[in-house]
Amino acid sequence: MRRFPLRPLGLAAVLLLTLSACSSGPEPDSRRLVLVTQAQPSGAASQVFAGEVRAREEVTLSFRVAGKIANRYADAGTRVQAGQILARLDDDDLALQSQAADASVQALRADRDLAAAELTRYRELVGKQLVSQSLYDSKKAQAQAAQSRYQQAVAQSKVNSNQTGYAVIRAPANGVISQRLAEAGQVVSAGQPVFAFAADGARDVSITVAEQHLPNLRVGQPVKLELWTQEGQVYEGKIREIAAAADALTRTYAVRVAFDDAAAVTQLGQSARVYMTETTDQGLSVPLSALTESNGKPAVWVIARDGRLQKRGVAVRRYGARSAEISAGLAQNEWIVQAGVHLLREGESVRAVDADNRPVAVAGTTKAAR
């Protein structure tokens, strides 16, 4: 009978026991790893608006009568003085009308004087009872009518004389022609813009703002201004005017910002930046990457205390460049997923880590200490 050595069999048994002990260890955590954050109070937000330097007093200049432009004496960029002639219409027809009106005044003056003289004679005759009272009353009415026609002609003559003066455009004040809108030889109607005029004096920055910014703006609110050609040089300013209605095309509101600093050297049309600080008392700020949607409305993934995901709808007050302001639907101490939100499922169990790759205890309101 053949005998087998016992030492190799003992080594094999020990090896099997060792492998069995290793295979009974804990399985690795297969839950999805997600990056989480907590909503932060929105507080004060700084907004930057692009604008253009404009004159505080701007006006379009036009003729008050229709006609053909005979001469134009100013161009865009021309500096002008108050009362300076800028353009003139061909006023031949207006001059003829004025002459006709003057002639009518002279004719009606003669009729008035004749009627007044006859009334004087008939007053004497009726006193001597040489003519009837009714004939005298008739002459009196004729004299009054002649006086009225004369006064009407005088008024019309003044209107024609004024229209002759309306054939000239004069500068209303010292300033600059910012735009030329018509040319010599062109036939224009009454009131049609011919020049855009910017008066010397104070300067504003014109900007437009969206509807959501209006509740945080007020007239007199201090702001900062910076000209693009003077980067780094910041001037003090304040909101001077806010439009009451939105533009029909852009649906934005026009806002005028005044320079408080008299030392600011500006040129019309310069580009500028306006820095405003909007203060909000309520609302939480979350990264834009944390937003998803539920039934077409904004939502976020909230991690419940049991470590499972819940999709919750939120109300977004304002969208920013990198964050969104939440007005309802979320508490400040709740943890939300801020990346990869399109890959998650309702009720999924996850492991949460913060931006520093540290595990987060979602059952509490603080991060797990290490």
- For the chain, residues classed under CATH 2.40.420.20 are 32-44+283-353
Looking at domain 92-164, what is its CATH homologous superfamily?
Helix hairpin bin (1.10.287.470)
pLDDT at 243: 92
Report the alpha-carbon distance of residue 221 to residue 240 in Å, rounded.
Answer: 8
- For the chain, residues classed under CATH 1.10.287.470 are 92-164
* Nearest alpha carbon to residue 123 among 106, 135, 107: 135
Mean pLDDT of 44-72: 88
CA angle 55, 58, 60 (to 5 degrees): 150
34 neighbors 138 (Cβ within 8 angstroms): no
* Nearest alpha carbon to residue 111 among 147, 138, 160: 147
pLDDT above 60: residue 24: no
Report the alpha-carbon distance of residue 294 to residue 127 in Å, rounded.
Answer: 105
Mean pLDDT of 138-153: 90
**According to DSSP H, which parts of the chain are helical?**
7-23, 92-127, 133-166
- Find out if CATH 2.40.30.170 is the number for domain 47-55+199-279: yes
Task: Classify 239 as helix, strand or coil.
Answer: strand
Mean pLDDT of 263-285: 77
Q: Which residue has the higher pLDDT, 3 or 356?
A: 356
DSSP string, 315-362: EEEEE-SSEEEEEES--TT-EEE-S-GGG--TT-BEEEE-TTS-B--T
pLDDT above 50: residue 259: yes
Please state which CATH number belongs to domain 58-88+167-197: 2.40.50.100
pLDDT above 90: residue 84: yes
198 neighbors 57 (Cβ within 8 angstroms): yes
Fold designation for 32-44+283-353 = 2.40.420
Q: Would you place residue 362 in the very low, low, confident or very high pLDDT band (cuts 50, 70, 90)?
A: confident
222-227 and 271-279 strand pairing: antiparallel
Taking residue 6's Cβ as centre, other Cβ atoms within 10 Å add up to 8
pLDDT at 195: 95
Report the alpha-carbon distance of residue 312 to residue 328 in Å, rounded.
Answer: 11
Residue positions counted in the chain: 370
pLDDT at 324: 84
32 neighbors 149 (Cβ within 8 angstroms): no
Residues of the chain with pLDDT > 70: what percent?
87
Predicted confidence (pLDDT) per residue in 34-55, tens digit: 888 887 776 555 688 999 999 9
Query: Side by side, which strands form the sheet with 58-62?
Result: 58-62, 193-199, 175-180, 79-80
Between the CA atoms of 285, 291, 294 and 297, what dihedral angle is there, to the nearest 10 degrees? 60
Report the alpha-carbon distance of residue 153 to residue 144 in Å, rounded.
Answer: 14
Predicted confidence (pLDDT) per residue in 155-191, tens digit: 988 888 888 888 899 999 999 999 999 999 999 999 9
Please state which of the ranges 108-117, 126-135, 170-179 shows the lowest mean pLDDT.
126-135
Predicted confidence (pLDDT) per residue in 192-224, tens digit: 999 999 998 888 999 999 888 888 889 999 999
Report the alpha-carbon distance of residue 247 to residue 129 in Å, rounded.
Answer: 78
The per-residue b/e assignment along 255-275, b for 16 or more CB within 10 angstroms, e otherwise, is: bbbbbeeeebebeeebebbbe
Predicted confidence (pLDDT) per residue in 293-313, tens digit: 888 889 998 998 888 898 989
Beta bridge partners of 172: none
pLDDT at 25: 53
44-55 and 203-209 strand pairing: antiparallel
Please state which of the ranges 17-31, 66-80, 82-96, 154-168 shows the lowest mean pLDDT.
17-31
Which residue type does 73 have? Y
pLDDT at 43: 58
Report the alpha-carbon distance of residue 116 to residue 112 in Å, rounded.
Answer: 6
Question: Is the entire prediction scored with pTM above 0.85?
Answer: no
- For the chain, residues classed under CATH 2.40.30.170 are 47-55+199-279
Predicted confidence (pLDDT) per residue in 11-21, tens digit: 444 444 444 44
Mean pLDDT of 322-344: 84
* Nearest alpha carbon to residue 61 among 182, 235, 156, 161: 182
pLDDT at 13: 47
* Nearest alpha carbon to residue 205 among 271, 151, 261, 252: 271
* Average pLDDT score, the chain: 83
Q: Would you place residue 367 in the very low, low, confident or very high pLDDT band (cuts 50, 70, 90)?
A: very low
